Structure 1
Amino acid sequence: MTQTIGFIGTGVMGKSMAGHLIDADYQVHLFTRTKEKALDLIHQGAIWQDNVESLTKNADIIITMVGYPSDVEKLYLGDNGIIDNAKPGTFLIDMTTSDPKLAEKIASMAEEKQLHSIDAPVSGGDIGAKNGKLAIMVGGKQQDFDTMLPVFQVMGENIVLQGPAGSGQHTKMANQINIASTMIGVSESIMYAKKAGLDPVQVLQSISTGGAAASFSLSNLAPRMIEGDLEPGFYIKHFIKDMKIALTNAEKMGIKTPGLALSLELYEELAKKGLEDRGTQALIKWFEGDL
């Protein structure tokens, strides 16, 4: 199998993911809308491409990690995009959290061009990306999954094929629905500890590991809440996007998701107050009334 990977999107998580691939001796070609964001990776050994067309033609595996479904659609299905330029046999791996129906559409169009399409959104935030320990939720064909597994293993540890095209995105929606209510609980827990006169750091020592309350959010984001560190491991604006996709799909399936709806409402309030580019742990500001 070829070792040439085209990587599009070097944000908070994508930069670390691409870096791991370079370290694993894959030849990585890069394209982003802002070249300055890719300079560290270029110095690390990545090859810069000036546009999507040239990147696509120089790669046998293409990985995208961008912001919104509209970005994914433009990259793959737009004029002179990835599907138009990829040579037969190329693997297309979208690791953006996007819409399941869009993943199905891309897979269908890719198959017509003899391309292999996989939707593989991730969870773990900046910490998981930096440590190469992302959870990777995969939708696609078994043979394609088996072929790409060594690539996924460079970036993550918990890697599961969930089913056909779109299944990875549906799994990520389930993940985001869980996190939505969890973040409310984490924020309420911290506020309760403070109002009770406790040291919230000590409280975390008791409840964040080993007990029934343990979670990634409690272990990794609660300390940031307490410290007032709002730097994004995952942007509020992207979480809002994810929750809207999940809510739309849940409504189509006739599922009631009151926790998801409430979380979306609170995060949208934060965005209106100018916090859309902060990390999801900034939810604590709503509970503190510090807006």
Structure 2
Amino acid sequence: MLPDRRFLSTEDWSNLYKERAGRTMTQKVAFIGTGVMGKSMAGHLMDKGYELTVYTRTKEKAAELLDRGAEWAATVKEAVADADYVITMVGYPSDVESIYLGEDGIIKSARKGAFLIDMTTSKPSLAKEIAEEALKNGMHAVDAPVSGGDVGAREARLAIMIGGEKEAYTKCLPLFEAMGNNIVHQGPAGSGQHTKMSNQIAISSGMIAACEALAYAEKTGLDPEDVLKSITTGAAGSWTLQNLAPRMLQGNFEPGFYVKHFIKDMRIAKEESEQFGLNTPGLDLALSLFGQLEEMGEENSGTHALYKLWKQQQ
């Protein structure tokens, strides 16, 4: 209860009212999965004043967030119990299925009225199943995979592709705006994941092209860094050339996005393409080349480590 306004100055009463209103309106977010991208995304939500609870299988990965004041939960069930929003950013569809639909998973543990946001790149069919189960239990679920890698996550410049009810999208929009700057509602449940498959198909061939271009520049005796200055702003320009090609040349193959996760994404894209009878020769080649990279033990490197296949030829 606020004190009697008669005993406070107008300025003091106004400040106290704003402070109390802010506390009342603070919304709780459970963030599950604080890896390469997730920790930055969760941090942006804290910057916007959301009360954050985190859960990840390796607590050390959440250390920065915990140091900033986030709460730690020992289980998924504990993390989501009183959350207004639940965000997941994990590795594989099997992880998503377990976390949402398991015995102590989100659907059975979150409160009615909660909004569930899966930002993992996963199967469209699974996104639809989660949305249906959420509605049966009085919740709302959207699939919202992202693109932009570690750089986009750090700088809150992610592209976010959303599938689900329009009303749920609108309700979750302030959270999306804290993490990204290209936010599009693509349609009903599963649409976000289908859009992400289009994104990954485009990246797969683009990564091959970037590697070939740099290898050609080096083979012909050019300075590849100077070549990049020319081609990144011309018709060949791409996110991969601008952000990942310099890392290739530096020999820095730390993950902004893991090879193993990209292979997972491409396999989902291939399965979905086959269901629609779509021929994808570029995707097929990328799967083959990234498979070779995985066999070299590079599954935990960044996707731009594909360049190592060309470096072997020198």
One fold, TM greater than 0.5? yes
- 1:280 is matched with 303
Greater radius of gyration (CA): 2
Residues 11-63 of structure 1: CA deviation (Å, up to 9, x unaligned) = 00001000111111100000000111111100011111110111110211000
2:208 pairs, out of 180, 184, 190, with 184
Unaligned runs of 5+ in 1: none
1:79-158 residue pairs with structure 2 within 5 A? 79-158=103-182
Show the counterpart of 1:260.
283
Aligned to 1:166: 190
Counterpart in the other structure of 1:223:
246
Q: Which among 225, 235, 248 is matched to residue 258 of structure 2?
A: 235
Partner Cα distance (2:186, 2:47) in 1? 28
Deviation, structure 1 residue 272: 1.0
Q: Is the 8 A contact 1:132 1:155 kept in 2?
A: yes
1:114 is displaced (CA, Å) by: 1.1
- Residue 47 (structure 1) aligned to one of 55, 63, 71: 71
One-letter code aligned to 2:131: A
Whether the 8 Å contact between 1:2 and 1:60 is mirrored in structure 2 is: no
Shift of residue 87 of structure 1? 1.2
For 1:271, the equivalent position in structure 2 comes to 294
Letter in 2 for 1:160: V
> Is residue 203 of structure 1 aligned with residue 252 of structure 2?
no
Task: Give the SS at the match of 2:53.
Answer: strand
What's the secondary structure of 1:33's corresponding residue? coil
Q: TM-score scaled by structure 1?
A: 0.98
Identity %: 58
Equivalent AA in structure 1 for residue 181 of structure 2:
E
1:69 aligns with 2:96: no
Separation of aligned partners in 1, 2:216 and 2:253: 20
Determine the C-alpha separation between the residues in 1 that align with 2:64 and 2:49: 16
Whichever residue aligns with residue 138 of structure 2, its letter is: Q
| Pairwise CA distance, 1:86 | 1.2
| Cα separation, 2, equivalents of 1:166 and 1:186 | 30
Deviation of the 1:80 alpha carbon: 1.3
- Does the aligned pair in 2 maintain the 1:7–1:31 contact within 8 Å? yes
Alignment RMSD (CA, Å): 1.1
Task: Indicate the residue corresponding to 1:246 in structure 2.
Answer: 269
Q: Is the 8 A contact 1:7 1:29 kept in 2?
A: yes
Over residues 122-176 of structure 1, what are the superposed CA-to-partner deviations in whole Å (9 max), with x where a residue is unaligned?
0000000000000000001111111111110000000000000000000000000
CA contact (8 A) 2:26 2:51 kept: no
Matched residue type, 2:271: T
Q: Matched residue pairs, number?
A: 290
- For residues 207 and 156 of structure 1, what CA distance do their matches in structure 2 show? 27
Q: 2:290 aligns to what SS in structure 1? A: helix
Question: d(CA) in 2 for partners of 1:39 and 1:126?
Answer: 18
Hey, what's the Cα distance between the residues in 2 that align with 1:233 and 1:155?
Answer: 16
Is the 8 Å Cα contact of residues 5 and 29 (structure 1) preserved in structure 2?
yes
SS of residue paired to 2:30: strand
Q: Aligned letter for 1:266?
A: L
